[in-house]
Amino acid sequence: MKHTLEADGINLEFGNRKILSDIYLKCETGKITGLLGRNGNGKSCLMNIIYGTLNATDKSIRLDGRPLLQAYKKPEILLYLPQFNFIPKFLKLKSIFTDFNLEYNELESLFPEFKTKYNSRIKNLSGGQRRLIEIYIVLKSNSKFALLDEPFSHLSPLMIETVKELLLETKKTKGLLVTDHMFRDIIDVSDDLYLLTGGRTHLTKDIKELEFLGYAKL
Ligand SMILES: Nc1ncnc2c1ncn2[C@@H]1O[C@H](COP(=O)(O)OP(=O)(O)OP(=O)(O)O)[C@@H](O)[C@H]1O
């Protein structure tokens, strides 16, 4: 069964600074929805509003047309990869994979460099390896939707290619909302693409629109 996650009528202000103006955005299971925007345009704020960890002046977050409140308390519906690292540094990969009920050998087959890391602690991984573990856990855990804030940052080009394959595999069972400044990679994997600019979302049908709207030179 297909599921739909919508953010509608979102308004956000900090003091007298308007960040988001009557935003609409839709994600569906079976699809990757890309979200692009220049620094400071409100992409992380929008994800936090959807996740329920940031209050907005107005908002309607809906799952299959029904209000979805405090999504952060409902991991079976929505998981969130924040921009910052969220797994405590002292944990071993072994215990993380046990706690999340995930098969370590699946990770090893996708990313052979982890073959020697089963007993390593997060603090002994590189920044990119740590990020990769966080992405992997969010994508592999059971949920209908996942929000990914800058999954490609800190990753080497080869890792980015494998993560893109993982995103395409994951969308068969989930809906993904993904934002990153690696816009070509976002364009590559997205079924639907929004540009956030001037506080509003634009559903871009034509990639050239990104250039027209002043986002990037293609
Ligand atoms: N708690 C806060 N109080 C005041 N201003 C805030 C707060 N949180 C975010 N902002 C401002 O809101 C704007 C949007 O921030 P946000 O982090 O959502 O941008 P972004 O599009 O994710 O940027 P980037 O691509 O650089 O991560 C920024 O100008 C930021 O400074």
Per the structure, the count of domains in the chain is 1
List the residue whose alpha carbon is closest to atom 5 of ligand 1: 14
Domain presence at residue 217:
no
List the residue whose alpha carbon is closest to atom 14 of ligand 1: 42
Sheet containing 58-63: order of strands: 17-28, 4-14, 58-63, 66-67
Pocket around ligand 1 at a 6 A CB cut-off = 14, 19, 37, 39-45
Whether the model pTM is above 0.80: yes
pLDDT at position 213, please?
Answer: 84
List the residue whose alpha carbon is closest to atom 8 of ligand 1: 45
Q: What is the CATH number of the domain that holds 200?
A: 3.40.50.300
- Cβ neighbours around 153 below 10 Å, total: 14
Domain presence at residue 96:
yes
pLDDT at position 212, please?
Answer: 80
For residues 105 and 188, give the distance between their C-alpha atoms in angstroms, rounded to a whole number: 28
pLDDT at position 104, please?
Answer: 97
Cα 42 to middle of ligand 1, angstroms: 5
Q: How far is CA 148 from each of CA 13, 47, 153, 177, 180, rounded to the nearest angstrom?
A: 23, 9, 11, 6, 8
pLDDT at position 208, please?
Answer: 84
Mean pLDDT by 10 residues, the chain (218 residues): 96 94 97 96 97 92 96 97 94 96 95 95 96 96 97 94 96 98 94 95 85 82
Atom nearest to 181 CA in ligand 1: 25
Atom nearest to 47 CA in ligand 1: 18
72 lies in which domain range?
4-212
pLDDT at position 35, please?
Answer: 97
- Cβ neighbours around 15 below 10 Å, total: 5
- Torsions phi, psi of 130, nearest 5? -65, -45
Domain presence at residue 122:
yes
List the residue whose alpha carbon is closest to atom 10 of ligand 1: 14
Cα 151 to middle of ligand 1, angstroms: 18
Domain presence at residue 65:
yes
| 3-class DSSP assignment, residue 165 | helix
